[in-house]
Amino acid sequence: MSIRIGIAGITGRMGRLLAEEAVAAGATLAGGLGRPGAAPPGDTPAPLLPDAAALFAASDVVIDFTHAATAAAHAAAAAAAGKPLVLGTSGLSAADEAAVARAAAQVPIVYAANFAPGVNLVLAIAERMAAALPAEAYDAEILEMHHRQKVDAPSGTALALGRAVARGRGTTLEAAGTESGRDGHCGARRTGSIGFAALRGGQVVGEHTLLFAAASEQIAITHRSFDRRVYATGAVRAALWLRGRAPGLYDMKHVLGMEE
């Protein structure tokens, strides 16, 4: 039996790509949520449903790439319906993430900052590099650039990179401290902190560079996304993977088989 995939935000740019990739993967489009007055994707027709409860009721799994403001409500709807959720929305607050974690105690949820397979490999490499390069000698800086419409900064992927570096160093991003938005006479860089720089312009899909800079050498690892479809393909892969999973909070490392 074909899996029924529902898409929150199906009338948007990412929603349309998700619909196309779901159909390409052999899934059935159960329906979607969209902006009032917006039309569903023409090439992959699916009914627009009135609310999240109706979407989860009609679906075997829902993919949500909408807005941070709806993340907690959609996670609660998933738990109430007993249906899995793939959550790719960035910019969640600590309270939003706590709400997602509570829902994951009842249903399986894949929550990831980025669904591109390459990015998740970079995250794994970043953690290992940070473990090998001591914070006292190697400053960690993360540079990201996105299209001019992106509303949150640093990006969710940049923050995930920062957390990976912190884990590799046996700490947390909050404990390590962050540096961003340097301007004017801001003083010397703090040892062990993790720096962020965010650029916005044009229609850049996504670029992330992690730098480890020491007195005698510099190491950089960069990932560039050229097409948003890579996120849609990864999210549909996660939706198919979720079927039959036990409740819990998963990420793309689980989907890719990089973590049990």
63: CATH: 3.40.50.720
| Same domain flag for 219 and 246 | no
| Same domain flag for 213 and 193 | yes
For residue 7, the cross-strand partners are: 32, 63
The answer to whether the CB of 85 falls within 8 A of the CB of 75 is yes
| Same domain flag for 97 and 147 | no
Segment among 23-32, 41-50, 163-172 with least mean pLDDT? 41-50
Q: State which amino acid sits at residue 98.
A: A
Structure tokens at 107: 């249903």
Catalytic residues: 146, 150
Question: Where are any strands of DSSP class E within the chain?
Answer: 4-8, 28-33, 61-64, 85-87, 108-111, 139-146, 178-180, 194-200, 206-213, 218-225, 248-250
Specify the pTM: 0.85
CB proximity list for 258: less than 8 A, separation 6 or greater: 120, 121, 124
Structure tokens at 126: 């970043």
In a domain, 153, yes or no: yes
- Dihedrals phi, psi of 153, to nearest 5 degrees: -155, 140
Could you list the residue range(s) of the whole structural domain that residue 149 is in? 117-225
For residue 5, the cross-strand partners are: 29, 61
| Same domain flag for 25 and 56 | yes
In a domain, 195, yes or no: yes
| Residue recorded with tokens 């999973």 | 245
Question: Is residue 87 scored above 70 in pLDDT?
Answer: yes
| Same domain flag for 65 and 130 | no
pLDDT band at 53, cuts 50/70/90?
very high
Total domains in the fold of the chain = 2
Average pLDDT, the chain: 93
**Mean pLDDT computed over 180-206:** 92
CA angle, 185 then 188 then 194, to 5°: 115
